């Protein structure tokens, strides 16, 4: 399994500002993912971040709004830029590890963001 | 059509009850199937993978019907601690997971 930590665990921000969320994993992983979970909704993938290459964004998400860094195999950051109240959500970092029979995906505890 | 659809819920059952959740997926190329559990204000955690032959883990039984693109989760002898949201999850090889909206289970004494 993987132990994933995220910072900050929660924040309240003013609109127009930016917040950078950090994700640290206790083992080296190739694939890291950033998800968003809005209130009462399921998880939506924002982007896939592989070390050594640019992040791949899903439809509806762009690099200017959600820049991602992946400097090494255990760490990644997601920035929520120029925030608006619609960005209020839980942001989750996730990694995929190879298991005996198949890959398993693990999630960090999430960052709860409230934009005023 | 949504990629992964689940029973809307919520399911409110007494302790000891048997409850079943259903899920359908739209992409016939999906290769891996999972049930995740998410407790209130917590991150999702893998409950069990779903194999073609069906699989059981204690009180939990998962089944897959590829022809119908249908997945199920059966919980027997429900416990209070089973109260959570259960997420149906699918993916193709090498791609990210696709999550259903989840089904909420509330077990009462």
CB contact under 8 A, B43 and A110: yes
Residue A84, both tokens = 């608006």
Contact A101 B49 (CB under 8 A): yes
Residue of B7, B36, B37, B43 to mutate when probing chain A, most A C-beta within 10 A: B43
Interface contact B97, partner A, CB < 8 A? yes
Nearest to A43 among B42, B44, B49 (CB): B44
* Shortest distance, CA A73 to any CA of chain B (angstroms): 18
Q: By the 8 A CB rule, do A107 and A93 touch?
A: yes
Residue B93: predicted pLDDT = 65
- Kindly report, residue by residue over B15-73, the tens digit of the pLDDT: 999 999 999 999 888 888 999 999 988 999 999 999 888 899 999 999 999 999 999 99
User: Tens digits of per-residue pLDDT, A25-44?
Assistant: 999 998 899 999 998 888 99
Q: Is the pLDDT of residue A103 over 80?
A: no
């Amino acid at each position: 399994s993987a132990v994933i930590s995220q910072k900050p665990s929660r924040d309240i921000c003013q609109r127009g500002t930016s917040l950078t969320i950090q994700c640290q994993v206790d083992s080296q992983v190739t694939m890291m993912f950033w998800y968003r979970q809005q209130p009462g909704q399921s998880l939506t993938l924002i982007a896939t971040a592989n070390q050594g290459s640019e992040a791949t964004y899903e439809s509806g998400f762009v690099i200017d709004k959600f820049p991602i860094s992946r400097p090494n195999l255990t760490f990644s950051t997601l920035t929520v830029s120029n925030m608006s109240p619609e960005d209020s959500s839980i942001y989750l970092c996730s990694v995929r590890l190879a298991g005996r029979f198949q890959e398993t995906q693990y999630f960090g505890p999430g960052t709860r963001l409230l934009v005023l | 059509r949504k990629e992964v659809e689940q029973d809307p819920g919520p399911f409110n059952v007494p302790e000891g009850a048997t409850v079943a959740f259903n899920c359908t997926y739209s992409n016939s190329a999906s290769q891996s199937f999972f049930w995740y559990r998410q407790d209130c204000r917590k991150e999702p955690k893998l409950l069990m993978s779903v194999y073609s032959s069906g699989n059981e883990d204690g009180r939990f039984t998962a089944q897959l019907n590829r022809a119908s693109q249908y997945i199920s989760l059966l919980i027997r002898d429900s416990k209070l601690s089973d109260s959570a949201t259960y997420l149906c999850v699918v993916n193709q090889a090498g791609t990210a997971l696709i999550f259903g909206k989840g089904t909420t289970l509330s077990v009462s004494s």
